[in-house]
Amino acid sequence: MIGLKQKLDYSDYAAIPDDGCRYEMVDGDLLVIPAPSPLHQRISKRLQRCLEAYFEGRGLGEVFNAPVDVILTPHDVMQPDLVVVIQPTQVSERGIEGAPLMVVEVLSPSTRERDRTIKGRRYSNLGVSHYWLVDPQTRRLECYVLQGAQYVLCAEGQGPVTITHPHFSELTVPLSDLWL
């Protein structure tokens, strides 16, 4: 290569030494992701079980949890908390290749704004159909669906309610199970 490299790409990402940190790459910019709290992990695990029961239990897809690389472009490699893949060919030795059906981010104080802005915009620009945000602090789940080039809220709930998702027949999420 002659000249200066303008953006980091997957080859740079893959060359990061194993230093115990988690990284993501958004549009060629490298981000360090702090380790999640036990509460964050507990909520993620409980929601994962719910999604597995629905998607895997019906043979509709597969659910993965972090850390797993979601390689959206050579310049965009994310590690969302949960990923739902319905195309088995997207699962490779490197990670999940291309836009999965769904990405779930459990908000943390250090990632809250990034998940709601930068990552949300990037996921929508790169064709992730469903984006869910789980907020442990407010005990809230927001489910967004991609319409055109942006996300639109299609289901939400807070506290001990049960959410029924309008785009997935019979997918219900009892939020009280997440906050135990």
pLDDT of residue 34: 82
Domain that holds residue 20: 10-179
With respect to residue 165, please indicate whether it lies within any of the assigned structural domains.
Answer: yes
Residue 147 domain-assigned (yes or no): yes
Q: What is the tally of structural domains in the chain?
A: 1
| Residue burial 129-142, b: 16+ Cβ < 10 Å; e: rest | bbbbbbbbeebbbb
Evaluate whether residue 5 is within a structural domain.
no
pLDDT in tens, 94-104: 999 999 999 99
CA gap 136, 178 in Å, rounded? 9
pLDDT for residue 2: 63
Say if residue 166 is preceded by a cis peptide, omega within 30 of 0: no
Residue 137 included in any domain: yes
pLDDT at position 170, please?
A: 92
Residue 109 domain flag: yes
Q: Which pLDDT belongs to residue 166? A: 95
pLDDT for the residue 150: 93
List, for the chain, all residue ranges whose pLDDT scores fall below the cut of 70: 1-3
Is residue 4 situated within a structural domain?
Answer: no
The CATH number covering residue 105 comes to 3.90.1570.10
